[in-house]
Structure 1
Amino acid sequence: MEEYIRELEELDKKYFIHPTSPIQQQQTDGPGFIFVKGEGIYLEDIRGKRVIDGMSSLWNVNIGHGRKEIGKVAMEQMTQLAFNSCFSTYSNEPAIRLAAKLAEIAPGDLSATFFTSGGSESNDTAYKLARHYWILKGLPGKKKIITRTRSYHGVAMGATSATGLKPFRDFTNSLAPDFYYVDNFSPVTLRELIEKEGAETIAAFVAEPVQGAGGVHIAPEQYFNEIREICDENHILFITDEVITGFGRTGTYFGIEHYGVVPDMMCFAKGVTSGYAQLGGVMMSRKMHQDFIELSTGTLLHGYTYSGHAMACSVALKNLEIIERENLIENAKQMGIEMLAGFKQLQSKHSIIGEVRALGLMGAIEIVKNQKTNEHFSAPLAPLIVSEAAKRGLVIRAVVFDDQDKIVFAPPLTINKEEIEQMMTILSDAFLAVEAAQNLTV
C-alpha cells in the first residue's frame, strides 16, 4: 500500500499543477492529502485518515459528501443525454427546468439565467453583459466596473481584475482595463469615485453579500440599502456575487436577502450543485432581460461550450431538491448560531483570539497578539493553527491577505450540534499546540 501511495505522490509532484497552492511546497512535500472518499461532513484520505471538512472543500459542498441520489441522477442523465450545445437556441429539459427553478427562488424580479461552468466565468459574463447592456441602451461610454477592497471574484482575466485582493492582481502583469476599487464597507468612497469618474462612464458596481475568500467580512446592516440607492441615483447596475453565499450558506437562500435588497444581476456557482458537477450562471432582472430582447438586433455573441450542460443542470435540480427537502437553509441558520457560540467560548479560553463572527455557516476567527488593541503578530499564526487542526482531523483555511491573520470556516449545511462541538474541541487543541510552541500565555 505504501508503495502505491508513494507512486501517486510522485506522479502528483511530476504532472499535477495544483490551483492556489505553494508550487515549491508541492514539489518538496507532495500532496497534503490524497482524498478517496467523502461522507456527510467528513473526508477520508488514502491512508484511512478521516477529517471534518470545515470548508465544504471550497465553500461549496453544501449538502455534504457521498450523496448517492446525486450520482444516480447524474448517471441517468448521462446515459440519456449528457450534453448538447445550447448555441443557436438549441436546448434541453434540465437546463429549462433549472432556469425556471432559479427564477422561483431568486430574490425579487431576477428571472432569466445565462449558464456558465463556474464562478470565474459567471463574474466575467456579468461584466461583459453589463457593458453590452449599456451599448444596447445607446450609452457605450458606461464601461467601468467598480468593486471593493478585500473582494474576491475569481481568477479569469476579468474576474482577476475585479478582485480587490492585490496579490491576485499582482500575479499577472496585464490586467483588464476599466476596473476600480472602493473601500469595502464605505458608501461614501463609492459616491466619491462616481463623482470623480462620472456616472456616465460606469457600467456596474459589484459586491459579495459577505466577502468570503477575503476573510468573511459581513456588511453593516444598512450598507447594501445605501449602495442600492447610489446605483439607482446614478443609473449604475448593481451586481451581487453569490458564488459563495448562494444556496443556503448564510441561512437564507441567497446572502443578499439578509439586507432586503434586489440586485440587477446575480452571479452564482458552487452551491448550485454542491460541487457534484461544474456549473454556474448569471441571473438578470426581468427589466434587463426585456431590454435585451427589445434592443438586440443580432446574435448574443457570448457563450461557453458547456452553457446549459444537461447533466450538470440535472444534478443542480436534485441538489436544490435536497436542500429544500432536508430544510438545510434553516439548519445553516441554527448551526451558524451554534458555531458562533463555539467561537466565543474559544475566545474566552485563548488570549490570541480576537474578533469572531459568523453569518449562517460562514465564519471567521481573528488571531491577535493583544485582544484589547487587536495588534497582530509579526508573522501570521493562522497557517500554523490550520496545520495543527489538520493533524487532529479538521480541514479549515487561513487568510493572511491585506495584513490579515485569521481562520475561516464554511462546513456543510448538514452539520449538527455534536459535530460543531467536535470542531471546537479540535480547534481548541490546535490553539493550545500553537500557543505552547510559540511560548504564549494561554
Structure 2
Amino acid sequence: MNAPISRSHPSQSEDVQSLWQKDRDHFIHPFTDFSLFHEQGCDLITDSDGIYVEDAYGHRYIDGIAGLWCVNVGHGRGEIGQAMADQATRMAYFSTFNNLSNAPAAELAAKLAELAPAHLNHVFYSCGGSAANDATIRLVHYYFNRVGKPHKKRILSRNNAYHGTTYLAASLTGIKSNNWDFDTLDHLVTHLSEANLYRRPEDMSEADYCDSLVSELEETIERIGADNIAAFIAEPIMGAGGVLVAPDGYHARMQAVCRANDILYIADEVVTGFGRLGHFFASEAVFDTQPDIINVAKGLSSGYAPLGATLISDELYEVLSTPQGPGGVLSTGFTYSGHPVSCAAALKNIEIIEREGICDNVRETGPYLERRLKTLAHHETVGDIRGSHFMLCIENVADKTSKALLPVEARVGDRVAFEAQQRGLIIRPVGHLNIVSPPLIWDRDVVDRVVDILDESLAATSQTLKDDGYL
C-alpha cells in the first residue's frame, strides 16, 4: 500500500527507487487503480521459488494467488525453464500458418486431446485466456454460418462472469465495473443471473434456487429465440466474479437445456483447468458436463509462457475442417498460434503435474484448506467463505445478518490484503472480496501458516475499520 522506498534496505534503495520510478512513469498496468497508483506505484516482485515470491527489497511472501490463478506447479521450476531454453535455441519460432507446424505444438495438441473429455480431440491455439474466448466465439459463429444457421449469433453469458478483456471477451464478461466507460458488443451478448448461493433469496432452498436459474435460461431462450442463440459460456466455478460455486446439478441441467435448443455449451476452464479443482479438466470430472468447447490458459503452462487453447469437439471440427469451396481456408489465427517455446513449457508443466501427482495433492489438501479457512468465520466482517479445493474466497461484509456491504471507500478487500502482505502472505483483493488461489503444491503445514496469517490480518482489519469509523 506504500511506495517501496518507504520500506527499503539502505543498500538497495537507490537502484530500487529508480526501477520503481520507471515502472510508475511508463508501465500501464492491467486494472490499475489510478487513485492510488500515481502516489504509491507498485511493489516490485523480483524473485520466486516454489510457493514463495520475493520483492526488490528482499521481503519474502507466501504466494496465495499463484501469480494470477496460474503458477500451478510453483515458481522456479528449472526443468520448465530448461525445456524453454532448449526449444528456443533449437528453434524459437516459425509460422504455423498454411502447411507448416512444429513438434511441441503437435505433441501438446495430442496430449490435450488425451487428457480432455473423449470427444474433444482438436486444439486451436491462442496466447491467453481472453484470446481463447474471443477466438472461440468467432469459430462458433463461423460454424453456424457453415451449417446454414447464420442467425445464431447471440451468446449467453452470466452476470459477474469473467471471460477476459479483449473487445469480445470483455463483452462476455459480466462484471459491470470491468467495463465502466468501455464499449461492449451488447447486440451479441445477453447476461443471465450468476449462481450465487450466498446471496440467493433467503426463503429459497438450494434445489429451488437451481430450478429458478434453469427456468431463467429457458425463459431467455423463449424470449430471444433459439434460432438466434449460438452458445452459452460459463466458468465451472466463477473466478474473479467471486469464486461462486453453483448449486448442485446446475451445470448439467444448463447444458441439457442448451442441447435441447441447439445451443453450444462452452466451458471457460481458464482458471479451473490443470489441477485447481483436482483434475486436469473439471467440467466432466467434477460437474458432469460434456462441453462442446473447453477453453484453457493459465495453468496450461503454469504461467511460464503465454499460451491459450480452445479444445473443440469432433462434431464441430467436422464442419470447421470442411473447405467453404475451392481455395477456401480457415482464415483465422494468430502469429503465435502454437508457439513452440510456449508449447514446450506446457508439455513439461503437464509432465510435472502427472509425475508429482499434483492433482492428487489438490484432492487431498484442498478439503483441508477449505475446512481451515472456514474457521475464520468468527471474524465480524467475514460473511462467507466459499469455493472448492485450491480456489477459495472470503466475502467481507458490514453486517453478517443482513449481508450488507461496507462502503466502497472502506476498501475492505485492500485492507485485508495489505495486512496479510505485511505478515508475509499475498492474497488478492477484488472489491469487498479476498481470493485465495495458491500454487497447487501447498501442503497442510503451509495451509496452517496461511490461516494463522489471515486470522491476524482479519482481526487487524476489523480494528482499522473501527478506527476509521466504518464499523
TM-score normalised by the shorter chain: which range applies? over 0.9
Please name the residue that 1:326 is paired with: 356
Aligned AA (1:220):
P
Q: Does 1:175 find its partner at 2:185?
A: yes
2:418 aligned residue (370, 387, 396): 387
Q: Does the aligned pair in 1 maintain the 2:231–2:266 contact within 8 Å?
A: yes
Please name the residue that 1:260 is paired with: 288
Q: Does the aligned pair in 1 maintain the 2:380–2:462 contact within 8 Å?
A: no
Shift of 1:338: 1.4
Please name the residue that 2:34 is paired with: 23
Distance 1:158 1:87 in 2: 24
Distance 2:341 2:119 in 1: 27
1:147-188: CA deviations, max 9, x gaps? Answer: 001100000000000001112222413536311111123121
Give the share of equivalent positions with the same residue, in percent: 38
Q: Does the aligned pair in 1 maintain the 2:294–2:310 contact within 8 Å?
A: yes
Question: Secondary structure of 1:36's partner?
Answer: strand
Q: Does the aligned pair in 1 maintain the 2:233–2:265 contact within 8 Å?
A: yes
1:357-406: CA deviations, max 9, x gaps? Answer: 22120001121233333232234522211111111111111222xxxx22
Question: Secondary structure of 2:350's partner?
Answer: helix
Please name the residue that 2:252 is paired with: 225
Question: Secondary structure of 1:439's partner?
Answer: helix
Please name the residue that 2:441 is paired with: 414
Please name the residue that 2:388 is paired with: 359
Q: Does 1:398 find its partner at 2:442?
A: no
Distance 2:218 2:100 in 1: 43
Distance 2:324 2:50 in 1: 47
Please name the residue that 1:48 is paired with: 58
What are the residue-to-residue correspondences of 1:71-86 with 2, within 5 Å? 71-86=81-96
Question: Secondary structure of 2:266's partner?
Answer: strand
Shift of 1:46: 0.9
Question: Secondary structure of 1:138's partner?
Answer: coil
Please name the residue that 1:124 is paired with: 134
Please name the residue that 2:460 is paired with: 433
What are the residue-to-residue correspondences of 1:136-175 with 2, within 5 Å? 136-175=146-185
Please name the residue that 2:102 is paired with: 92
Alignment TM-score, normalising by the size of structure 1: 0.96
Q: Does the aligned pair in 2 maintain the 1:63–1:322 contact within 8 Å?
A: yes
Shift of 1:439: 3.0
Please name the residue that 1:192 is paired with: 219
The unaligned stretches of length 5 or more in structure 2 are: 1-11, 196-212
Distance 2:411 2:46 in 1: 31
2:368 aligned residue (327, 330, 338): 338
Please name the residue that 1:280 is paired with: 308
Distance 1:419 1:258 in 2: 25
Q: State which drifts further: 288-297 or 91-100.
A: 288-297
Q: Does 1:376 find its partner at 2:405?
A: yes
Q: Does the aligned pair in 1 maintain the 2:237–2:246 contact within 8 Å?
A: yes
Distance 1:398 1:423 in 2: 16
Q: Does the aligned pair in 2 maintain the 1:368–1:374 contact within 8 Å?
A: yes
Q: Does the aligned pair in 2 maintain the 1:17–1:23 contact within 8 Å?
A: no
Distance 1:168 1:371 in 2: 27
Please name the residue that 1:303 is paired with: 333
Q: Does the aligned pair in 1 maintain the 2:170–2:184 contact within 8 Å?
A: no
Which portions of structure 1, spanning 4 or more consecutive aligned residues, are displaced by more than 6 angstroms?
none
Aligned AA (2:370):
L
Aligned alpha-carbon RMSD (Å): 1.6
Q: State which drifts further: 162-171 or 264-273.
A: 162-171
Q: Does 1:67 find its partner at 2:94?
A: no
Question: Secondary structure of 1:438's partner?
Answer: helix
Aligned AA (2:441):
T
Q: How many residues align?
A: 436
Q: State which drifts further: 174-183 or 298-307.
A: 174-183
Q: Does the aligned pair in 1 maintain the 2:171–2:184 contact within 8 Å?
A: no
CA spacing shift, 1:315–1:196, aligned 2, 3 Å: same
Shift of 1:425: 1.1
Q: Does the aligned pair in 2 maintain the 1:112–1:286 contact within 8 Å?
A: yes
The unaligned stretches of length 5 or more in structure 1 are: none
Alignment TM-score, normalising by the size of structure 2: 0.90
Aligned AA (1:28):
E
Please name the residue that 1:10 is paired with: 21
2:228 aligned residue (184, 196, 201): 201
